[in-house]
């Protein structure tokens, strides 16, 4: 174990933001692993160490994709964002993401804040005004920004590139750069029309960005973040438009700007500020110190696709405004993959949080733990169901759960649940208790450096320490000969259990509360707005019997006794349960089915073949026939040997349909037969013709058959 370098952080003010989820779908494990679980661990830890924390998030509800989705589904953009805002908000509550406020950018306070922010920059002369030619759909009477236009990517030739970005090669460009642009609304070829927009001249801020990030944060920002920022700045920064010709968004607050809104990347990060204002008003606090006091630490948790917005554009906006602090850190994560493939909303390649909870009820902490232990902190990482199962069975069940269960069961069995009075501590006891006291600083050091994987493993090491202590000291044997020694062992083990109950809170909040209930320790949740106890009645009933004060993070280091002699604990309850092979196999099968469906959906329709003459067609002699007999071709997986009545004769046809049909299924079937195909031998059997087939999206063969009983064998098909 590393020796801690410094004590856990001293009290101060933190504004922690988690990326605003885009409100056109639910959220999945990639979002949780990349942003929300690490942000939550950080926020919970800071609260436990006595800091003043505002943990802020909200739905990002503007932008073109939402309006396109609304058009497709025949509803209003507001319907779309209302639906997904509710789903996302519930997922965060369900998974214990302890946000102080989850707001939304369609809120009035946000419209006012973003409008005001724009006006301030406008009045300070921070924008460039420019009239440019933009693509325009005459029929829809609308300018075609971003996703409203599709055309050929000038870089890679992808014919389905969007106006703002090519999804194939990743290049971002202007809609006017596309070759053969088409309107996504009407399919029309757009015209060019002049329009005025406002631009933020990022080039003007280059010197400050170089000084502040490239010099100032070389050591404390993650290398992946620093590297991306550096390459952006070195590439040369250009002015970026902050307005759009659209009817969904925040209207540009200028007299000559009708039909224009703030571009979504301009309004979205201001959402952090509006959400803080909304929270402060509700709590009777002043919001300004959380954004304007230089002693406040502002930390943005995001995924790597948002680095440029949080490290370059938003700071440039804050700096231009002049009264705001800049982020202290932007610990962006890399991406999480799922079973070897990129997570994808459109391909449904994801584990959606609502679905996870249906399949694994009350097991939020297992997912939180598996995602943290395998977090994509320094490189893209893969989530596999096998790893999820192993994290649960080998760590949560076998180490953490096993230790707690033995401590609680034995305390109840030997002492009716009362914490026994220890006799003299042995050297091992002293060393063990000293080791426990070192953990808060060790885990804190990892968390404060945004190394949540490492932190979660240190927590598990504390459980290992407890498990090993019991296994070595064997109270179940010692009790037969040394009653005093047994009391000491159980006393020490109960102290370790109490430390685990407190230190696990940022990582495993549901388990931590359950364990506090079992040990009758007070919850820490009055320090958080989010009540996550699964069993409020029991928690309330126990409150009177519980210790009066919750244990803080630093109490684990400072107090000699966490659970006093004579304190009554509750009965044993399993914290975790084993996940069986069948359970994870069912999840893997679900993904495989998705993969198959995707492949089928993506199968391109083959282009039309070369034109043939009518004479060419009449050469084919197609007849109605009936299958009279069918049997499997020995040693051939795909082939059935059929006897077919063609009306002309009864002949043998070998057909490759055995993987889709049993012989019994096809006997009696009316079919279309190509009767004048030259005979050919298949595995020694001469096949005299061909039966016409097609297939379903998932690869099952289908007969092309005349479905009227009145058509007789031998009739021509033409
Ligand atoms: Zn491209």
**Using CA atoms, how far apart are residues 495 and 559, in angstroms rounded to an integer?**
10
Banded model confidence at residue 248, pLDDT cuts 50, 70, 90 = very high
Residue of 425, 562, 410 whose CA lies nearest to 471: 410
Which residues does residue 13 pair with via DSSP β-bridges, in sequence order? 52
Banded model confidence at residue 169, pLDDT cuts 50, 70, 90 = confident
Question: 10 Å Cβ neighbour count for 123?
Answer: 9
- C-beta separation of 383 from 37 below 8 A: no
Query: Residue 177 Cα, ligand 1 centroid: separation in angstroms?
Result: 11
Query: Residue 608 Cα, ligand 1 centroid: separation in angstroms?
Result: 26
Query: Residue 163 Cα, ligand 1 centroid: separation in angstroms?
Result: 11
Supply the pLDDT for residue 540.
Answer: 47
Query: Residue 188 Cα, ligand 1 centroid: separation in angstroms?
Result: 22
Which carries the bigger pLDDT value, residue 10 or residue 561? Answer: 561
Reported as half-sphere exposure (CB side, CA atoms, 13 A), residue 84 has a value of 24
Q: 270-293 pLDDT, tens per residue? A: 999 999 999 999 999 999 999 999
Query: Residue 361 Cα, ligand 1 centroid: separation in angstroms?
Result: 43
Say whether pLDDT at 534 is over 60: no
Query: Residue 172 Cα, ligand 1 centroid: separation in angstroms?
Result: 9
**Residue 517: CB partners within 8 Å, gap ≥ 6?**
533, 535, 538, 539, 542, 570
Mean pLDDT (whole number) for 200-207: 96
Q: Could you give the percent of the chain with pLDDT greater than 90? A: 75
Supply the pLDDT for residue 525.
Answer: 64
Say whether pLDDT at 531 is over 80: no
Query: Residue 167 Cα, ligand 1 centroid: separation in angstroms?
Result: 7
Provide DSSP, 313-339. IHHHHHHHH-SS---SB---B-PEEET
Q: 694-716 pLDDT, tens per residue? A: 887 667 888 988 777 788 898 88
Query: Residue 307 Cα, ligand 1 centroid: separation in angstroms?
Result: 21
Supply the pLDDT for residue 496.
Answer: 98
Supply the pLDDT for residue 602.
Answer: 66
Query: Residue 149 Cα, ligand 1 centroid: separation in angstroms?
Result: 14
Residue matched to tokens 């939020």: 364
Say whether pLDDT at 543 is over 50: no
Query: Residue 372 Cα, ligand 1 centroid: separation in angstroms?
Result: 34
Supply the pLDDT for residue 9.
Answer: 46
Per DSSP bridges, beta strands 240-241 and 101-104 are: unpaired
Query: Residue 150 Cα, ligand 1 centroid: separation in angstroms?
Result: 12
Q: Could you give the percent of the chain with pLDDT greater than 70? A: 94
**Using CA atoms, how far apart are residues 335 and 30, in angstroms rounded to an integer?**
7
Banded model confidence at residue 3, pLDDT cuts 50, 70, 90 = very low
Query: Residue 316 Cα, ligand 1 centroid: separation in angstroms?
Result: 29
Q: 361-408 pLDDT, tens per residue? A: 999 999 999 999 999 998 999 999 999 999 999 999 999 999 999 999
Query: Residue 146 Cα, ligand 1 centroid: separation in angstroms?
Result: 14
Query: Residue 82 Cα, ligand 1 centroid: separation in angstroms?
Result: 33
**Using CA atoms, how far apart are residues 536 and 526, in angstroms rounded to an integer?**
13
Q: 409-422 pLDDT, tens per residue? A: 999 999 999 999 99
Query: Residue 199 Cα, ligand 1 centroid: separation in angstroms?
Result: 25
Supply the pLDDT for residue 533.
Answer: 42
Rg of the chain, C-alpha, whole Å: 33
Pick the range with the lowest mean pLDDT from 1-15, 161-175, 412-426, 432-446. 1-15
Query: Residue 175 Cα, ligand 1 centroid: separation in angstroms?
Result: 13
**Using CA atoms, how far apart are residues 276 and 288, in angstroms rounded to an integer?**
9
Say whether pLDDT at 488 is over 50: yes
**Using CA atoms, how far apart are residues 546 and 526, in angstroms rounded to an integer?**
15
Which carries the bigger pLDDT value, residue 532 or residue 460? Answer: 460
Say whether pLDDT at 51 is over 60: yes
Say whether pLDDT at 172 is over 80: no
Query: Residue 173 Cα, ligand 1 centroid: separation in angstroms?
Result: 9
Say whether pLDDT at 11 is over 60: no
Supply the pLDDT for residue 539.
Answer: 47
Supply the pLDDT for residue 207.
Answer: 96
Q: What is the pTM of this model?
A: 0.81
Query: Residue 153 Cα, ligand 1 centroid: separation in angstroms?
Result: 5
Mean pLDDT (whole number) for 41-67: 95
Q: 128-156 pLDDT, tens per residue? A: 999 989 999 998 888 887 888 999 998 88
Say whether pLDDT at 318 is over 80: yes
Query: Residue 156 Cα, ligand 1 centroid: separation in angstroms?
Result: 4
Provide DSSP, 376-441. -SSS-EEE-HHHHHHIIIIIIIIIIIHHHHHHHHHHHHHHTTBPPPP----HHHHHHHHHHHHHHH
Query: Residue 165 Cα, ligand 1 centroid: separation in angstroms?
Result: 8
Query: Residue 176 Cα, ligand 1 centroid: separation in angstroms?
Result: 14
Query: Residue 161 Cα, ligand 1 centroid: separation in angstroms?
Result: 7
- C-beta separation of 352 from 562 below 8 A: no
For the chain, what is the mean pLDDT?
91
The DSSP symbol for 199 reads E
Question: 10 Å Cβ neighbour count for 544?
Answer: 8
Query: Residue 147 Cα, ligand 1 centroid: separation in angstroms?
Result: 14
Query: Residue 291 Cα, ligand 1 centroid: separation in angstroms?
Result: 39
Supply the pLDDT for residue 545.
Answer: 58
Query: Residue 267 Cα, ligand 1 centroid: separation in angstroms?
Result: 27
Supply the pLDDT for residue 538.
Answer: 46
Pick the range with the lowest mean pLDDT from 416-425, 546-555, 576-585. 546-555
Mean pLDDT (whole number) for 315-327: 97
Supply the pLDDT for residue 636.
Answer: 87
Tokens of 167: 């999804």
Query: Residue 237 Cα, ligand 1 centroid: separation in angstroms?
Result: 21
Query: Residue 270 Cα, ligand 1 centroid: separation in angstroms?
Result: 31
Query: Residue 151 Cα, ligand 1 centroid: separation in angstroms?
Result: 10
Supply the pLDDT for residue 10.
Answer: 52
Reported as half-sphere exposure (CB side, CA atoms, 13 A), residue 162 has a value of 15
Residue of 66, 251, 262, 245 whose CA lies nearest to 140: 245
3-state class (DSSP) for residue 662: coil
Q: 652-675 pLDDT, tens per residue? A: 999 999 988 999 999 999 999 999
Per DSSP bridges, beta strands 297-301 and 260-262 are: unpaired
Supply the pLDDT for residue 5.
Answer: 41
Banded model confidence at residue 309, pLDDT cuts 50, 70, 90 = very high
**Residue 184: CB partners within 8 Å, gap ≥ 6?**
68, 144, 147, 148, 149, 150
Using alpha carbons only, give the angle 232, 234, 235 rounded to the nearest 5 degrees: 65
Supply the pLDDT for residue 596.
Answer: 84
Query: Residue 33 Cα, ligand 1 centroid: separation in angstroms?
Result: 29
Query: Residue 166 Cα, ligand 1 centroid: separation in angstroms?
Result: 5
Mean pLDDT (whole number) for 100-106: 97
Query: Residue 152 Cα, ligand 1 centroid: separation in angstroms?
Result: 8
Query: Residue 164 Cα, ligand 1 centroid: separation in angstroms?
Result: 11
CA torsion 335-340-343-347 (nearest 10°) is 160
Query: Residue 249 Cα, ligand 1 centroid: separation in angstroms?
Result: 28
């Amino acid at each position: 174990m590393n020796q801690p370098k410094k004590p856990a952080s001293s009290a101060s003010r933190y504004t922690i933001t988690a990326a605003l989820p885009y409100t056109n779908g639910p959220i999945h494990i990639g979002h949780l692993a990349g942003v929300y679980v690490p942000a939550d661990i950080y926020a919970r830890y800071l609260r436990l160490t006595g800091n003043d924390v505002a943990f802020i998030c909200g739905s990002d509800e503007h932008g073109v994709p939402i309006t396109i989705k609304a058009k497709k589904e025949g509803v209003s953009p507001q319907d779309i964002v209302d639906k997904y805002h509710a789903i996302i908000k519930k997922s965060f509550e369900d998974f214990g993401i302890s946000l102080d406020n989850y707001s939304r950018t369609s809120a009035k306070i946000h419209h006012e804040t973003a409008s005001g922010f724009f006006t301030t920059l406008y009045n300070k002369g921070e924008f460039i005004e420019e009239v440019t030619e933009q693509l325009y759909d005459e029929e829809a009477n609308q300018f075609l920004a971003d996703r409203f236009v599709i055309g050929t990517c000038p870089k890679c030739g992808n014919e389905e590139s969007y106006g703002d970005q090519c999804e194939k090669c990743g290049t971002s460009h202007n809609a006017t750069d596309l070759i053969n642009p088409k309107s996504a609304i009407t399919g029309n070829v757009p015209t060019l029309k002049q329009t005025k927009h406002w631009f933020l001249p990022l080039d003007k801020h280059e010197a400050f960005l170089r000084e502040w990030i490239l010099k100032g944060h070389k050591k404390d920002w993650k290398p992946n973040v620093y590297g991306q920022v550096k390459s952006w700045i070195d590439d040369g920064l250009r002015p970026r438009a902050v307005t759009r010709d659209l009817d969904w968004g925040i209207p540009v607050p200028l007299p000559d700007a009708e039909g224009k809104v703030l571009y979504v990347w301009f309004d979205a990060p201001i959402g952090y500020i509006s959400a803080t204002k909304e929270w402060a008003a509700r709590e009777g606090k002043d919001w300004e110190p959380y954004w304007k006091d230089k002693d406040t630490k502002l930390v943005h948790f995001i995924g790597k696709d948002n680095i440029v917005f949080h490290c370059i554009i938003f700071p440039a906006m804050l700096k231009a405004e002049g009264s705001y602090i800049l982020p202290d850190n932007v610990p962006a994560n890399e991406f999480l993959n799922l079973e070897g493939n990129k997570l994808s909303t459109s391909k449904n390649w994801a584990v959606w949080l609502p679905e996870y909870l249906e399949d694994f009820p009350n097991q939020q902490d297992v997912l939180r733990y598996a995602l943290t232990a395998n977090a994509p902190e320094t490189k893209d990482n893969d989530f596999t169901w096998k790893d999820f199962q192993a994290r649960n069975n080998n760590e949560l069940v076998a180490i953490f759960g096993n230790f707690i269960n033995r401590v609680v069961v034995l305390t109840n069995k030997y002492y009716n649940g009362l914490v026994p009075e220890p006799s003299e501590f042995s050297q091992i006891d002293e060393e063990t208790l000293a080791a426990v006291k070192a953990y808060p600083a060790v885990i804190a050091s990892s968390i404060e450096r945004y190394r949540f994987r490492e932190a979660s493993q240190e927590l598990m090491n504390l459980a290992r320490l407890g498990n090993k202590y019991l296994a070595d000291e064997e109270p179940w044997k010692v009790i037969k000969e040394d009653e005093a020694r047994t009391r000491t062992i159980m006393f020490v083990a109960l102290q370790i259990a109490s430390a685990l109950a407190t230190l696990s809170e940022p990582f495993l909040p549901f388990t931590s509360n359950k364990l506090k209930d079992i040990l009758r320790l007070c919850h820490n949740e009055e320090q958080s707005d989010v009540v996550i106890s699964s069993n409020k009645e029991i928690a309330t009933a126990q409150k009177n019997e519980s210790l009066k004060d919750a244990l803080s993070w630093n109490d684990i280091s400072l107090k000699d006794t966490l659970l006093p002699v004579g304190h009554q604990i509750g009965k044993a309850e399993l914290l975790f349960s084993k996940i069986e092979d069948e359970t994870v196999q069912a999840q893997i099968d679900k993904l495989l089915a998705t993969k198959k469906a995707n492949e089928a959906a993506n199968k391109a329709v083959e282009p039309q073949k070369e034109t043939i003459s009518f004479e060419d067609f009449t050469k084919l002699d197609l007849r109605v026939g009936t299958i009279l007999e069918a049997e499997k071709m020995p040693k051939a997986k795909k082939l059935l040997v059929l006897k077919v009545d063609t009306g002309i004769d009864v002949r043998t046809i070998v057909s490759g349909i055995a993987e889709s049909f049993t012989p019994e299924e096809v006997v009696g079937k009316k079919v279309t037969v190509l009767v004048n195909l030259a005979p050919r031998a298949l595995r020694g059997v001469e096949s005299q013709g061909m039966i016409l087939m097609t297939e379903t999206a998932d690869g099952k063969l289908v007969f092309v058959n005349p479905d009227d009983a009145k058509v007789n064998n031998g009739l021509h098909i033409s």
